[in-house]
A and B are shown apart, each in its own frame.
Chain A
């Protein structure tokens, strides 16, 4: 052919727009992190490198309490969501269809279809009544509410992993007189582990990301990191907010990098 240089893949302008897109995505985040290391008091006026905002955050009791709450909440919610989602995934995969399969499928995906703010006011209505009736104001409400909307996120990777799994290994285990439970523990579970881990990480990040539902349901003194940030933002914009935001950003980068490495090891 005469026109060897022609490449359908090379779309004029696509690369320019793509680079613009990456620049747009990253500049605000880079500036946010840069501001958190500013020695000066005024945001945006650079006066040298300093860790003072991080040190100040580390001495801030309210922030530390919020960080603790977030960590406990996200861990518990992700554990509950992953455990129940694993069981549900085992129930809904590798079957020739059973009665009620469609119902289970709809229920498990329902939290994805409702806007967060709607779920937040719905839970507020119910939980306000329960709080009044029982007098219990602990973290339990947030844990169970977070578990509920984290289940679909934990469910997706676990189900995908199960569907891609080879049945022959389990059949082989059964042929070799392994009990159902033994085969599950020794064959199914190790094969499923990357899916479960991915599900847990997803659920953990989704719980950590939540602002609206936590903000509506928290009892006094139950701030999570995002609700604490939202409250501080209402009062005053400080470099300390940028330091805390940068820490949250760091957590995301670590989780993404972690799951990246895990998925590479798998293959």
Chain B
């Protein structure tokens, strides 16, 4: 008994020793910095960036409110609410667009003959692995004032002057839907690929309509993949920085750009820290909702 306990303890110690370098690097360079952000969000801003070591709730206050410079009246911060609302709305619409395009694509790939699937998957994997900035530059060329669309429309005589599409919510939406589309296709594909189509055929043989089959037989099995894909698109959209910066500029900022601004020109580090934690909290809410949804489904099935 004693020897067994000792062996278990030795095994635990050996395993911790092996995991230690990775755990230490992440703790020091990912978890600890977040703790510092939490601390900074409760300090007062310094004059030239950084902070003064003085307890202050102004950072958190500034996330949603603003104080009038002259008479100190408190009101909701329109600018911040607009950006917060835009971040959530655009991320939701991005998820919707990628669902509409991604799910049929995943279906298409999963229903190809086994030998052809690899080729179609390969076509999805290439943009998936291509640099996000490069893909943003590519999609920018499509819709900028001198870009592909405007040139085509001008030469066809449909318009007389280029349409200004850049630096709008539309541009950010186009950019995000484009760069995050592969993230939707892959998890949905793996869910459909696992689906046993004989089940659907059985349903059909039992006089279920095609729509009924789809809703009652196929969808419940494919749902986890669709949920995973939605989370994989929604979460990086919410925290997106590069794509909105290029496509939206200063006019159509998202939360990530607002955070960056507090550490650049804004020079309000505590506000930036509070905004960053707000964003993290939103992401965590989405992730918790996701685990609830998937584990709940598992329980029902089991």
Contacts and interface: CB of A to CB of B under 8 A. Distances in A.
Interface of A: 1, 6, 8-11, 13-15, 17-22, 24-29, 31-32, 35, 43-44, 80, 83-85, 87-88, 90-92, 95, 98-101, 104, 107-108, 110-111, 113-119, 121-126, 128, 144-145, 147-149, 151, 155, 205, 208-209, 211-212, 216, 226, 229-230, 233, 237, 241-242, 245, 248-249, 252-253, 255-256, 260
29 contacts: A11-B107, A11-B111, A14-B108, A14-B111, A19-B108, A21-B101, A25-B178, A26-B123, A28-B139, A31-B148, A32-B137, A44-B151, A91-B16, A95-B15, A98-B8, A98-B12, A98-B15, A107-B27, A115-B239, A115-B256, A118-B276, A122-B34, A125-B37, A125-B269, A128-B50, A148-B29, A149-B30, A248-B134, A249-B131
A160 to B, nearest CB: 13
Given A104-B23, A118-B239, A15 B146 contact: no
A111 B242 CA distance: 18
B283 A113 contact: yes
| Interface core residue of B109, B138, B142, B204 (most chain A CB under 10 Å) | B138
Q: Which of B101, B105, B213, B239 has the most CB of A within 10 A?
A: B105
Nearest to B210: A8
Contacts of B29: 123, 144-145, 147-148
Interface string B171-196: 00000001001100100000000000
Contacts of A122: 30, 33-34, 36-37, 276
A252 B11 contact: no
A118 B23 CA distance: 20
B264 to A, nearest CB: 10
B108 A230 contact: no
Given A252-B129, A256-B129, A147 B25 contact: yes
B146 A121 contact: no
Interface residues on B, range: 35 or more
Interface in B239-259: 239, 241-242, 246, 256, 259
B27 to A, nearest CB: 6
B242 A212 contact: yes
A32 B36 CA distance: 41
A208 to B, nearest CB: 7
Contact of B125 (A17, A87, A241, A256): A256
A232 to B, nearest CB: 10
Interface in B27-56: 27-34, 36-37, 40, 50
B86 interface: no
Contacts of B178: 24-25, 28
Given A8-B201, A32-B138, A18 B131 contact: no
Contact of A100 (B16, B111, B210, B279): B16
A125 B36 contact: yes
A44 B131 contact: no
A31 B111 CA distance: 30
B19 interface: yes
B204 A8 contact: yes
B260 interface: yes
B167 interface: no
Contacts of A107: 23, 26-27, 31
Contacts of A113: 283-284, 287
Contacts of B133: 211, 226, 229-230, 245
A208 B272 CA distance: 27
Q: A1, A205, A256 — which one has the most chain B CB atoms within 10 A of its CB?
A: A256
A115 B282 CA distance: 10
A19 B104 CA distance: 9
B239 A18 contact: no
Contacts of B273: 121, 125
Given A115-B239, A121-B276, A13 B104 contact: yes
Given A44-B147, A122-B33, A21 B105 contact: yes
